Structures are given as structure tokens and as C-alpha cells.
Amino acid sequence: MTARPSDNLTAAFARLGGEGDGQVWSELWDDLCHQGSVYSDSYLALPHLAAIADGRAPGEPHEAVELAGLIASAADDEHSARYAGEFAVLLPVARRLLDAARGDAMVFVDLLQCVLAFEGERVWSAGLLEGLYQQEYEIECPKCASELFIAFGDRGTFASAGDYVTSDPAKTPLLPADPAGLAPLPARLHLTAAQAGHEDIARGLTHLFGRAVCPDCHDVFPVSDQVEAARI
């Protein structure tokens, strides 16, 4: 008799709670979300992850929240409804961990995406905020289709039509959004980052939800629109 996926998962999660937890989590990430992909069987892990998150089962809540957040970010309406109870358990844990994530920008952004995923947001929760700690996005000009780098880190804030790391291409300045004029979701993200002391993330959000000028055709366009377009 072949074991069902749920049986295999139960056995895998039963191994947590000892010195080998790191290896178990590594295997779970690889099996459930290999290279960031979410599979139909991945959702079967959500009850186990919710139980770990709120202390009903052994394991690291942070690992459980991040793995569940990635799965939740890919959920369609059917999966969102089926696992609404698990998301309701995971959401307050994710919020608590986010409140404590004040030192590491990557952890902060990852948990911010988890919160959005458990709330039911299915665009920015799906990895699109990761460019905030990488301090760059690679997008396409909507008018001339030039491949552009949008950078807002130590090297400056600009749009470039070439690889600004290994070459010296033409650059145009970015046009950041006024935080006071942001739409509700970006405004909330900006406020959350600012209140947590992640000033670089807050500033990055003004560029992500601001505008850029294409160095090739000089079209002015919203950066976030093209980040979303690159996801499709």
C-alpha cells in the first residue's frame, strides 16, 4: 500500500523536536516548496505548520510561519477557503514575530509578506517585496521594452538600462512617492517599516510605489506596475 502524502507529512513533522530539527526543516522546505514553488500537496502541511506556530506541536514557530506564508501566498480561492482556519491561527503569530523583527531587513520583509499572505493578499505577498532588501528590481519599460534596473541602495537611486554593477550605463533619477500620498496598502507597509526602525525598507517602498524614467525612451511610469507585470 502506497503512503498518502498526508501520511508522509505526518511522519516528517513527527521528527521535529530534537537536535536534528535543522535538517528536518531543510528537507521540508525542499519537499514542500522546492526553489520557491508551491505544489498541490504543499497545502496538506498547513495544519501541521499552524500547530507548530501556536505551540500545539514541537518545532520552531518562525520556520513554520515562513514556510506556511510561502504556501499561503500561492493559494487560490478554493485553498484560501479550505485553510481559512489555519491562516487565522498563523496570522497573529506572524504579526508577533514581525513586531520583534527589528534587526534583520530580510527577516522583516519575509515576515511582512507572510502577514499579507495570511490576510489574503495574493500579489505583494508572493515574493514581490524581496527587492526591498536587495535594494533593486529588474523590470521592463512599458513603452520601449528596454530591460531596466531600478536601484535604491548604496550605489544611488536611479533607473538604468544596463547592468550598473559591471558597466556604466546611462541613468535617470527615480521619482519617489510622497508617503502621505500612498495608496492604503503601500501606506500601511511604509508605516510598518518606519515604526519598526527599518528606514531603508521604508525608503525603498517610496521608490517601489513611485515612478521611474526610462533612460532609453524617457517614458515615465509607475515602478510597481512593472514589478507586478514581471510576475505574470
Q: What is the pLDDT along the chain (232 residues), one digit of tens a residue?
A: 344 566 688 999 999 999 899 999 999 999 999 889 999 999 999 999 999 999 999 999 999 999 999 999 999 999 999 999 999 999 999 999 999 988 899 999 999 999 999 999 999 999 999 999 999 999 999 999 999 999 999 889 999 997 776 677 889 999 999 999 999 999 999 999 999 999 999 999 999 999 999 999 999 999 999 999 988 6
Overall residue count recorded for the chain in this entry:
232
Total domains in the fold of the chain: 2
CB-CB contact of 214 with 144 (8 Å): yes
Q: Write down the pLDDT at residue 185.
A: 98
Task: State residue 21's pLDDT score.
Answer: 94
pLDDT confidence of residue 6: 61
Examine the domain organization and report whether 99 and 141 are in the same domain.
no
pLDDT on residue 3: 43
* Domain co-membership, 199 together with 89: no
Instruction: Give the domain-ending residue among 128, 150, 167.
Output: 128
Q: Do 226 and 160 share a structural domain?
A: yes
Looking at the fold, whether 106 and 77 belong to one and the same domain comes out as yes
Residues 140 and 106 in one domain: no
Give the pLDDT score at 166: 66
Examine the domain organization and report whether 81 and 192 are in the same domain.
no
Based on the fold, state whether residues 145 and 182 are members of the same structural domain: yes
- In this structure, the number of other CB atoms found within 10 A of the CB of residue 130 comes to 13
Which is nearest to 86 in space by CA: 54, 111, 124?
54
Q: Quote the CA–CA distance of 94 and 45 in Å, as a whole number.
A: 17
> Same structural domain for residues 37 and 67?
yes
On whether the CB atoms of residues 128 and 156 are closer than 8 A, the answer is no
What are the residues facing 56 on neighbouring strands? none
Assess whether 110 and 202 both reside in one domain.
no
DSSP 181: G
**One domain for residues 159 and 199:** yes
Scanning the chain, the segments in alpha helix (DSSP H) are 5-13, 21-32, 46-53, 61-73, 77-82, 84-100, 105-119, 131-134, 184-195, 199-208, 223-231
| Phi, then psi, of 223 in degrees rounded to 5 | -65, -45
Dihedral sign for Cα 164, 167, 168, 169, please: negative
Q: Which of 78, 93, 128 is the last residue of a domain?
A: 128
- One domain for residues 143 and 105: no
DSSP one-letter code for 124? I
- Whether residues 152 and 113 share a domain: the answer is no
Look up the domain containing 48 and give its range: 5-128
Q: Give the residue from 44, 19, 195 showing the smallest Cα distance to 28.
A: 44
